[in-house]
Structure 1
Amino acid sequence: MNKLSLLTGLFSVLLLTGSALVKAQPTEEEIVAELREKAMSNTLAYDILETLTTEVGARMAGTPQDAMAVEWGVKKFKELGFDKVWTEPVTFKTWIRAQEAAVLVSPYPHKIRITGLGFTVPTPLEGIEAEIVHFKTLQDLIDSPADSAKGKIVFISQKMERFRDGRGYGPVVKARGQGAVEAAKKGALAIVIRSIGTDSHRLPHTGMMRYKKGVKKIPAAAMSNPDADLLERILARKKPVKMNLKVYSHDGPEYTSYNVIGEMTGSEYPDEKVVIGGHLDSWDLGTGAVDDGAGVAITMAAAKIIGDSKYRPKRTVRVVLFANEEQGLIGARAYAAKHKVDLDNHVTGAESDFGAGKIYAFASNVAEDNLPVVKKMAELMKPLGIEYVDNKAGPGPDLIPMYSLGMSVFSLRQDGTDYFDLHHTEDDTLDKVVPENLSQNTAAYVVFAYIAANSEQKISRGITKTH
């Protein structure tokens, strides 16, 4: 064989080898599809959630379990192999739950299951015993005469309607948040509302309420839905109804907790990040499996799966476990205050904070020329049974402060049909969670986070930038 023939042969071999190497490099769609299937075929999110609910459990802000949750978060991020793990302090006022009880004294004696609303003031030690005055809605109370509740205990009975997207919550939750103020304006001694929930269990739902400067603070509680039904039936008999209410919960000392943060570093633009996460705190009644241990576990698992890939996305995937969401987005506000100087590097975000049901749809809120990236996400989410809705997404609760500063957001919408059966109750426990649903959620967050982090365009809500 002459030299020319030998060189020609070698060149052909190199071409074929190079062609094979090029073909061996998977496309972005192939990478994400493989990661999506990996998420669907394991129980990583459920396993993470099991450790949180078992080893920590209820973790109300400011309690010893809050500190345990922070320690758990740091340890778990490290165990999962995150590249960077750190905490950021969040300081706030605390509230301590103590003994609570209610009894219908007359005309028919009954024990009533109640729970104090967050930051309620206490009753006197002997309780408050007074006649009940009934209003169907908060607006009925507001519209009533100035002395309509003078010397009485206000009862608001409005029921919450059940919807997959949870839209029944907004119309009724105002009674929880504002009811004490409006009742006090009418001269009430206390207020007890029907629980903000859709269940028929004898388990009251807690949650935050607010006082207003210049308006007398009165005790505030919620009763279980079956007890509210009972009370309505008694009131229908047109006899005076008297209740004795005891709530000994009270304000506590100032406390410092922490946002817990873990990152899987991007391969080309490590300073730019896609933010996912949930809130680490819970209320104190259940073990916080659904609200929001599920969100914590889903997003930690999604980032772990992305980080383990040999094809890291261009940008960093950051998981934030926010402190004290339940008492007013305290951790979220602290995060935004600290990171607003780095806003331009917060490419986009999505929060998981609506339970553990399957994701059925997603929406975006991005610049118009980012929509081809969104379309790519939509195609890769179709096998998960998820459809794209529109470009009008709102932020998850803990992303509201960053969204307000201008960060783009996505909404991965979970089926919340039964979410408000469990929300803020003793029933919020691990047995309510279906492992396969968490796997599907994780897969959806893998698709979203990888595509957003790997996009040639820098996703934004305004004019996009390219590298």
Structure 2
Amino acid sequence: MKLEKTRFKVKSYIRASKLIKHMRISYIMKKGSFTLLLFTCLLSRHNLFAQQQADLETAFRQINAEVLSHSEAYVRLGESIQQIGHRLTGSPNGAKAEQYVFDLLKAYGFEEVAFQPFAINGWARESLDLRVGSPGNLQPVKAVALASTPVSAQVSGELVDMGNGLESDYAANPERAQGKIVLAALHLLPNSPQGTKNLHRSAKAALAIKYGAKGIILFNSVAGGTLLTGTASITGDLLTIPALCVGLEEGNRLKARIAEGRQEATIEMKNKAGKMQARNVIARITGSELPNEKIVVGGHLDSWDLSPGAVDNGLGAFSVLDMARTFMALGIKPKRTIEFVLFMGEEQGLLGSKAYVQQAMSNGTLDQIRFMLNFDMTNDPKGFYATLEGNRALFEEIGHSAARIDTTFKGTFSATAGLYSDHQPFMLQGIPTGGADGSTLSREALNCYHADCDVFELVNEQQMKNTVRFCSMLVYGLANTNEIPVKRLSDAEVKQLMVDNNLEEALRLGGDWRWD
């Protein structure tokens, strides 16, 4: 309607200018009419933008009120932990979690809810015995196996200190790890050279294998004997060597012993592995105007088995579920299709998101995905991010509108690209990705990452509500904007993005670098 009014005003002034010309009124008067015409057109455009801003903020206020009054994110996360426990992919608990969120989405009123099954190389720990000491005097050491380690392993050999476990540590003496068991830090050591870039634990395991090690022991950076688990395989396939984690204090003791003299280690482990089934859960709202343009809103549902995974990724997964509930409760009919996706298998190597992207490639619908928003350990954000700078204006417009409703949200924007969460398979196919920025997590929560202390008591209800309301606003803004400014990248542009963000080495180690 606003556009039609603008067109009417423009036509009126055109007719007026013709009449003035016909009456031979002075050039100055005609120039003045044109100026008035231009001013009126600009004013109409300003009014149209102002109306769009007002409509956006009206929707945001409705989202804000709904979440603050009726959010179920915190309660449902607690309920699932009480009823199910951990959510390890491929396990009975994992299947229960998949069914739990499927039923919940149905209860929220979604008619289009579906499982997306995929096969995985499942893994579960059974037993581990690590002994370290001087030759002939080996003592037991508390440790936990990293996922995707062998079904059975029994190795022994000299324990050597490989510092940070980076390529540069091995390259200094390429033969040093051959036939040995290596010790390395999960995080960068305090005396590391400035500018040193750390690698994921799976990349460090890949380097140990590359340089001929029999096994790798990584030590945590968190005090108090905290043991960390997680996959040691980038691809999801079983490793050929055992990989395990010890606590910070134990790691430092082992480093000191190696510096004093030769240390030996033995590792005996048994695990279960084999083909298993897992299921992503997908709930869809079909777009009212652009049904073939899709916004994917995802978070991984799965967790490791040492804890119920309250922070990783109960925070993200149950926030995504409550975003879906919010849209249904308000009866929102977005312009673009929205798919809320709870991914499984993220912890084992992004298996669920890879399956989703692969299916989209197979059925020819990948180009329909205009944006992927990923929420992984997202908590009380202060802004938004996207992989590409070209999204800045849109994201800042959405963020500033959100900030006008609640000034605790800052509406900041950053452009950055990273790896190791469910956005990665989308990003590597050129699909724009993004999410929330400036998340607030306590030091206690961060210390319990992938550890047995990742429990529900770490979760703050109000901070979860903040995640749901501000991220729902982002989803709404993206789904309803007239045009998403950034298109899918070409293969060459994806390569350049990876190079510009220093991701080539990690992708090569993971077998995901395809540009040679």
Q: Please say whether Structure 1 and Structure 2 have the same fold, judged by a TM-score greater than 0.5.
A: yes
Going from structure 1 to structure 2, the CA distance change for 1:460 and 1:83 (only over 3 Å counts) comes to farther
Is 1:280 the equivalent of 2:301?
yes
Q: Does 1:400 align with 2:424?
A: yes
CA contact (8 A) 1:347 1:407 kept: yes
CA distance in 2, matches of 1:160, 1:295: 27
Are 1:425 and 2:425 counterparts? no
- 1:65 CA drift (Å): 1.6
Distance 1:268 1:193, change over 3 A: same
Q: Counterparts of 2:428 and 2:168 in 1: how far apart (Å)?
A: 33
| Structure 1 stretch displaced more, 388-397 or 56-65 | 388-397
SS at match of 2:281: strand
Q: Aligned pair in 2 of structure 1 residues 31, 145: CA closer, same or farther (>3 Å)? A: closer
Instruction: Name which of 247, 251, 267 aligns with 1:224.
Output: 247
Pick aligned residue for 2:81 from 53, 78, 81: 53
1:245 equivalent among 249, 267, 281: 267
What is the distance in 2 between the residues matched to 1:342 and 1:182? 36
Paired position in structure 1 for 2:142 = 113
Separation (CA, whole Å) in 2 of partners of 1:346 and 1:266 = 12
In the alignment, which residue of structure 1 is the partner of 2:184? 156
Please give the secondary structure, in 1, of the residue aligned with 2:249: helix
Counterparts in 2 of 1:211 and 1:411: CA distance versus 1, 3 Å? closer
SS of the aligned residue for 2:423 comes to helix
* Residues 299 and 442 in structure 1, CA contact (< 8 A), matched pair in contact too: yes
Match of 1:192 among 205, 209, 217: 217
Shift of residue 184, structure 1, vs aligned partner = 4.5
1:64-117 alpha-carbon deviations (Å, 9 max, x no partner): 222112211211111222231101121122223111132334488754221112
> In 2, are the aligned partners of 1:348 and 1:459 still within 8 Å (CA)?
no
Report if the CA contact (8 A) 2:370-2:488 is conserved.
Answer: no
Does the aligned pair in 2 maintain the 1:396–1:411 contact within 8 Å? no
Question: Deviations along 1:225-250, whole A, 9 cap, x unmatched?
Answer: 222123234344x1333333222125
Q: Deviations over 1:139-181 (max 9, x none)?
A: 354125454245532111364489xxxxx9x94434x224444
Do 2:223 and 2:249's aligned partners in 1 also have CA atoms closer than 8 Å?
yes
Which of 311, 325, 329 is the equivalent residue of 2:350? Answer: 329
Describe the SS at the equivalent of 2:96: helix
Q: Confirm or deny: 8 A CA contact 2:138 2:265 kept in the other structure.
A: no
What's 2:440 paired with? 415
Between the aligned residues of both structures, percent identity stands at 24
Query: In 2, distance between residues paired with 1:423 and 1:264?
Result: 33
Q: Aligned letter for 1:227?
A: E
Please give the per-residue CA displacement for 1:251-277, whole angstroms capped at 9, x wherever unaligned.
x22122111101234444444332112
Q: Quote the Cα distance in structure 1 between the aligned partners of 2:462 and 2:95.
A: 30
Q: CA deviation at 1:387?
A: 2.8
Relative to the length of structure 1, the TM-score reads 0.80
Q: Secondary structure at the match of 1:99?
A: strand
Q: Which runs of 4+ in 1 moved over 6 A?
A: none
Runs of 5+ in structure 2 lacking a partner? 1-50, 490-516
Q: Deviations over 1:103-137 (max 9, x none)?
A: 3344887542211122112555xx44443211212
Would you say the 8 A contact 1:352–1:396 is kept in 2? no
What amino acid is aligned across from residue 312 of structure 1 in structure 2? K
Alignment of 1:263-342 (within 5 A): 263-340=284-361, 341-342=364-365
Instruction: Show CA shifts across 1:289-325 (max 9, x none).
Output: 1111211111110121122114533333321011211
Secondary structure, aligned partner of 1:446: helix
Q: Distance in 1 between matches of 2:434 and 2:213?
A: 43
**Structure 1: which 5+ runs fail to align?**
1-22, 163-167
Q: Does 1:438 align with 2:492?
A: no
- Evaluate the alpha carbon distance shift between residue 373 and residue 130 of structure 1 in structure 2; reply closer, same or farther with a 3 A threshold: closer
1:27 and 2:55 are equivalent in the alignment: yes
Which of 369, 375, 383 aligns to 1:361? It is 383
RMSD across aligned positions (CA) = 3.2
Q: 1:358 to 1:111 in 2, by over 3 A?
A: farther
**Does structure 2 retain, via aligned residues, the 8 Å contact 1:117–1:208?**
yes
Is 1:134 aligned to 2:155, yes or no?
A: no
Which residue of the partner structure matches residue 395 of structure 2?
Answer: 374
Distance 1:171 1:205, change over 3 A: farther
Calculate the TM-score normalised by the size of structure 2: 0.73
Counterpart code for 1:281: D
Equivalent in the alignment of 1:101: 129
Kindly indicate whether residue 237 of structure 2 is the aligned counterpart of residue 254 of structure 1: no
Report what 1:10 is aligned to: none
Cα offset, 1:379, TM superposition: 1.4
Q: Structure 2 CA distance, aligned partners of 1:432 and 1:184?
A: 36
Inter-partner Cα distance in structure 2 for 1:371 and 1:96: 43
Change (3 A) 1:350 1:155: same
1:57 CA displacement: 2.0
Contact kept in structure 2, 1:53 and 1:293, CA below 8 Å: no
Name the residue aligned to 1:350: 373
Tell me whether 1:452 sits opposite 2:475 in the alignment. Answer: no
